[in-house]
């Protein structure tokens, strides 16, 4: 699973373990797929390394696809907002975006960007939605280099402050 040749997303029978279908050609990411109803159609929505896509729940065929050219890892699960909106997010300075999914009278699907922001970036966490608000933990609002520094200090138990030619080390403990 997770790659070209129609294996971007693979469905297995939960009772037998048999492969039922596969679809899409994008490389896998760490994001988990989500079953949702968009445009009145039940589908599997997944954020892969190259795109956000909706797959037919019965066949695995790609219904719509929103390319994400940023090749950094994607972990956060897509958040479905109503019948036609999907919010997705990633870290590494990219942020989040809201996509509107629609289907024409002739049955053609499309995904259009509604808005994007660098400020809502879920690097290793999930985003929650409730009553028109998106919720993200505060560490994901920090710049990536600040998060990396905090993780280094938490792991080592020591903080190094360097400024104007001075260097001071002191113990650090997060509670």
For 71, list phi and psi in degrees, rounded to 5. -90, 15
SS3 label, residue 155: helix
For 147, list phi and psi in degrees, rounded to 5. -60, -45
Is the pLDDT score of 158 beyond 70? yes
Is the pLDDT score of 81 beyond 70? yes
SS3 label, residue 154: helix
Is the pLDDT score of 141 beyond 70? no
Average pLDDT over residues 142-163: 76
Non-local CB neighbours of 79 within 8 Å, separated by 6+ positions: 86, 87, 88, 127, 128, 129, 134
DSSP 142: S
HSE-up of 156 (CA within 13 Å, CB side)? 12
DSSP 144: H
| Of 88, 14, 2, 86, residue with least CA distance to 43 | 86
Average pLDDT over residues 77-84: 92
Give residue-wise pLDDT tens across range 58-79.
999 999 999 987 777 777 889 9
Average pLDDT over residues 41-52: 93
Give residue-wise pLDDT tens across range 4-42.
778 889 999 999 999 999 999 888 888 889 999 999 999
CA atoms 71, 72, 76, 80: torsion sign: negative
Q: For residue 144, how many other CB atoms are within 10 A of its CB? A: 15
Residue 36's pLDDT is 96
Is the pLDDT score of 138 beyond 60? no
Residue 78's pLDDT is 92
pTM for the structure as a whole = 0.75
104 vs 1, higher pLDDT: 104
């Amino acid at each position: 699973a997770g790659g070209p040749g129609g294996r971007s997303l693979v469905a297995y029978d939960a009772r037998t373990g048999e492969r039922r279908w596969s679809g899409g050609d994008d490389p896998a990411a760490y994001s988990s797929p989500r079953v949702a109803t968009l445009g009145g159609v039940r589908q599997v929505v997944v954020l892969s390394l190259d795109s956000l896509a909706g797959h037919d729940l019965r066949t695995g065929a790609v219904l719509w696809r929103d390319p994400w050219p940023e090749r950094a890892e994607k972990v956060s699960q897509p958040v479905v907002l109503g019948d036609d909106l999907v919010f997705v997010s990633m870290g590494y300075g990219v942020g989040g975006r809201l996509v509107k999914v629609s289907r024409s009278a002739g049955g053609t699907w499309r995904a259009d960007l509604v808005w994007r922001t660098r400020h809502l970036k879920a690097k290793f966490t999930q985003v929650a939605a409730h009553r028109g608000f998106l919720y993200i933990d505060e560490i994901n609002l920090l710049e990536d280099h600040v998060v990396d520094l905090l993780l280094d200090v938490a792991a080592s138990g020591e903080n190094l402050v360097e400024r104007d030619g001075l260097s001071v080390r002191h113990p650090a403990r997060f509670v």
